[in-house]
Structure 1
Amino acid sequence: MKFNNKKRALAHKSIYQTIIFILVAIFLFIISTEFLFKDYEMAKYGLIVFIVLLLIYIFRGHEYFEYDSTGMVVSIKNDSIFKEEFRPELLVAVEFPKEKLDHYKIQNYFINKRLNIYLKSSHHSTLVKNSFNITHLSPRRIHALKQSLHKIISENHAKV
């Protein structure tokens, strides 16, 4: 199975760029009209904190997800849509033989969804954990991802 969320990631990029522009305009307006907010100091600082937290959320990265399990190797790529502009170090790419997949977990946090894949180590009897952000995957894609990974794990357990 092979899929990615490139169209959705590009749509998110344009939405995020618009939000960033609006937030910067609001921030500049607050700073330039400080005399209007003298009675509302807490509201002003609360709005600035909200803007900063929203910018951190936007620039946390890993909006693009690519999965390919055709053949004997599973390839997973997680990348940022702002990679070229701000964060080139956010690329996470893993390729591994299907036999090394031991198990996986999908964790749902408040704003975030993560895929944790546990691979059998070739040198030790330990498991190696790889994490991927799948927040921007549609529920249909997450379901397909679960089915594909479950099928690989079932085939691995049938061989043993």
Structure 2
Amino acid sequence: MRLSNRNKASVYSFINTLLLMFLAGGIGAYILEEYRFNILGNESYLFIIVPVLMLILFYLSGRQIFEYDSDGEAVHFRNRNIIPFLNKPLSDEFPKYKLLKFEVISVFFIKRLYITISSKNSGSTILKYEISYLTRKEINDLKFSLNKVVKTNNEKRAKNK
């Protein structure tokens, strides 16, 4: 199964640009308020605080683009940000038989996918991906596909014992 929200990159770029323009406008409004009009008093700081909080919220939600591919014998995960220099993109590919379990954690508006894979050195390794920008249907499809792989792996392990 393939899952990708790469086609929404232009929407996320637009939102990012809009938030940056909102911040620039807020800074301009703050400067005009402080040095020209002086009507609001201390509330004029909201012109800067609100856009900064919205930008922080946008970036804290995680990397915007998530791609998953389980076709063939390997599972491939890619997670990147629309702004290339902001975060290092994640890209992991491993055989399906190494997938032990997965967990989707949702806290407020932040969603994370934790994948546990078997490793020769340490026994198991946990990989973390940010899936906050996936829709509920995409997350359900991802869970269904990963459940299928984990179930197949558990059946093979039980058969070999």
Count how many residue pairs are aligned between Structure 1 and Structure 2: 155
Deviation at 1:26, TM superposition (A): 1.6
Identical columns (%): 30
Change (3 A) 1:156 1:37: farther
The equivalent of 1:93 in structure 2 is 91
Q: Partners of 2:70 and 2:144 in 1: how far apart?
A: 11
The equivalent of 1:129 in structure 2 is 126
Change (3 A) 1:159 1:49: same
2:138 aligned with 1:138: no
CA contact (8 A) 1:62 1:90 kept: no
2:71 aligned with 1:74: no
C-alpha distance after superposition, 1:3-23 (max 9, x if no partner): 210122321211221221122
CA contact (8 A) 2:116 2:127 kept: yes
2:105 aligned with 1:107: yes
TM-score by length of 2: 0.87
The equivalent of 1:32 in structure 2 is 32
2:156 aligned with 1:159: yes
> What is the aligned-residue RMSD (CA, Å)?
1.7
| Structure 1: segments with no counterpart, 5+ residues | none
TM-score by length of 1: 0.87
